[in-house]
């Protein structure tokens, strides 16, 4: 009977090589990749197709979101809870393994490649946290780790596994050549939780709303974000595409603002707000419009099946700057606010 394995597959070179190393031992391999609002399966789907790897795509949004609010092992440099995220992915892959009657799980992780999540200790920890300790094989670094079940049971020949470690890519690139793999994506990228500006928005959202919806998260990807009061945040579209995208994800409870008679952004107040905040949002909307600094501007505010016109003037640039959520980033580009007047 053939040996079967389920592999976490990101579409990156290491995950491709892990598949190849096991296929070389006639292991029947199926890939699994994940989707959440923070990362997608696009790259994995594309690469799996190009190497004929059967791939399962699993949406783990809900379990990932609930873990993300308070990850037991904390965040990395940004809002990336890599230890608990990996453990969740392994746990999910383990359940797929159980269902499919497969023999073990594997990943393309390399010891020492990432400071938080890929030290030898971290790799052992996530395997343990997943509940599938002993069944998680890392073919590229297996010789640097204790033997796993499939190795001890002879399902996989440990001698034919590898001892790659560190951040360098030379050995992986040489292996890619050996396997005739000429197309593979550059390492890294792809997870919004490692992005400082996105992380700051997310931090701000979780402080104000400990139980955000998927729509709240999707909104973090669009426009400029300004906290105009303790409880109210707005998002301002930066171009026509973003304006349309914001309008595409509105809820009934939101208030949408736009200036009358001059070009300007769409501003959304997610979940609505009181009159004071609507007026502040209207002044921000006017600031980012083409109206001149001292113009009297009419801003249309729509929401809850009603609309009204707010008479305002563009908000002062410094006041706008002080409300931009990413301004708290030390090296961020939050200072780069743009309007026709700044």
Task: Give me the residues that bind ligand SF4 (CB under 6 A), please.
Answer: 39, 80-82, 85-86, 117, 191, 193-194
Task: Select 78 or 243, whichever has its Cβ closest to ligand SF4.
Answer: 78
Task: Select 132 or 287, whichever has its Cβ closest to ligand SF4.
Answer: 132
Q: What is the nearest approach in angstroms of ligand SF4 to the Cβ of residue 10?
A: 8
Instruction: Give the pair of three-digit tokens for residue 302.
Output: 């729509």
Task: Select 75 or 179, whichever has its Cβ closest to ligand SF4.
Answer: 75
Q: Kind of pairing, strands 136-137 and 104-106?
A: parallel
Q: Tell me if 313 sits within 8 A of 296, measured CB to CB.
A: yes
Task: Select 218 or 319, whichever has its Cβ closest to ligand SF4.
Answer: 218
Q: What is the nearest approach in angstroms of ligand SF4 to the Cβ of residue 172?
A: 18
Task: Select 80 or 312, whichever has its Cβ closest to ligand SF4.
Answer: 80
Q: Tell me if 166 sits within 8 A of 113, measured CB to CB.
A: yes
Task: Select 32 or 297, whichever has its Cβ closest to ligand SF4.
Answer: 32
CA dist 83 → 61, 89, 167, 217, 226 (Å): 17, 10, 18, 21, 31
Between CA 76 and CA 55 the distance in angstroms is 28
Q: What is the nearest approach in angstroms of ligand SF4 to the Cβ of residue 300?
A: 39
Q: Give the position of tokens 């990413």.
A: 326
Q: What is the nearest approach in angstroms of ligand SF4 to the Cβ of residue 218?
A: 17
Task: Select 88 or 236, whichever has its Cβ closest to ligand SF4.
Answer: 88
Environment class of 56 (CB within 10 Å of its CB; exposed 0-12, middle 13-18, buried 19+): middle
Q: What is the nearest approach in angstroms of ligand SF4 to the Cβ of residue 123?
A: 12
Q: What is the nearest approach in angstroms of ligand SF4 to the Cβ of residue 329?
A: 19
Q: Looking at 237-305, which runs of residues are DSSP E strands?
A: 255-259, 267-269, 297-303
CA dist 121 → 48, 70, 104, 146, 286 (Å): 29, 21, 20, 11, 53
Q: Tell me if 20 sits within 8 A of 31, measured CB to CB.
A: no
Strand order across the beta sheet in which 104-106 lies: 55-59, 28-35, 4-8, 104-106, 136-137
Q: What is the nearest approach in angstroms of ligand SF4 to the Cβ of residue 86?
A: 5
Task: Select 202 or 284, whichever has its Cβ closest to ligand SF4.
Answer: 202
Residues 20-46, buried b or exposed e (16+ Cβ, 10 A)? bbbbeeebebbbbbbbbbbbbbebbbe
Q: What is the nearest approach in angstroms of ligand SF4 to the Cβ of residue 88?
A: 8
**DSSP label at residue 141:** T
Task: Select 8 or 323, whichever has its Cβ closest to ligand SF4.
Answer: 8
In the chain, DSSP finds a helix count (H) and a strand count (E) of 12, 11
Q: What is the nearest approach in angstroms of ligand SF4 to the Cβ of residue 176?
A: 21
Please compute, for residue 177, the number of CA atoms within 13 A of its CA located in the half-sphere on the CB side. 6
Environment class of 93 (CB within 10 Å of its CB; exposed 0-12, middle 13-18, buried 19+): buried
């Amino acid at each position: 009977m053939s040996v079967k394995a389920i592999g976490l597959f990101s579409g990156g070179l290491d995950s491709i090589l892990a598949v190849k190393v096991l296929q070389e031992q006639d292991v029947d391999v199926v890939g699994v990749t994940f989707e959440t609002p923070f990362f997608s399966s696009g790259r994995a789907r594309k690469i799996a197709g190009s190497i004929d790897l059967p791939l399962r795509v699993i949406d783990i949004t809900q379990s990932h979101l609930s873990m993300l609010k308070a990850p037991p092992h904390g965040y990395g440099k940004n809002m990336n809870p890599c230890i608990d995220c990996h453990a969740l992915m392994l746990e999910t892959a383990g359940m797929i393994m159980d269902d499919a009657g497969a023999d073990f799980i594997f990943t393309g992780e390399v010891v020492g490649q990432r400071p938080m999540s890929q030290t030898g200790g971290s790799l052992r920890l996530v395997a343990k946290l997943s509940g599938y300790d002993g069944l998680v094989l890392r073919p590229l670094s297996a010789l640097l780790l204790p033997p796993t079940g499939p190795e001890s049971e002879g399902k996989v020949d440990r001698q034919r596994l590898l001892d790659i470690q560190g951040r360098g890519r030379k050995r992986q690139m040489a292996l890619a050549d050996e396997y005739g793999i000429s197309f593979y994506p550059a390492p890294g990228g792809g997870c919004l939780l490692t992005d400082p500006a996105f992380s700051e928005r997310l931090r701000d959202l979780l402080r104000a709303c400990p139980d955000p919806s998927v729509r709240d998260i999707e909104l973090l990807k669009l426009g400029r974000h300004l906290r105009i009061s303790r409880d109210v945040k707005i998002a301002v579209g930066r171009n026509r595409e973003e304006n349309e995208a914001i309008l595409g994800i509105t809820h009934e409870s939101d208030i949408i603002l736009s200036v009358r008679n001059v070009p300007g952004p769409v501003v959304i107040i997610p979940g609505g707000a009181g009159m004071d905040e609507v007026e502040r949002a209207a002044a921000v909307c006017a600031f980012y419009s083409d109206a001149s600094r001292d113009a009297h501007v009419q801003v249309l505010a729509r929401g809850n099946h009603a609309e009204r016109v707010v008479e305002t003037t563009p908000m002062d640039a410094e006041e706008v700057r002080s409300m931009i959520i990413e301004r708290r980033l030390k090296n961020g580009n939050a200072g780069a606010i743009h309007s026709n007047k700044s």
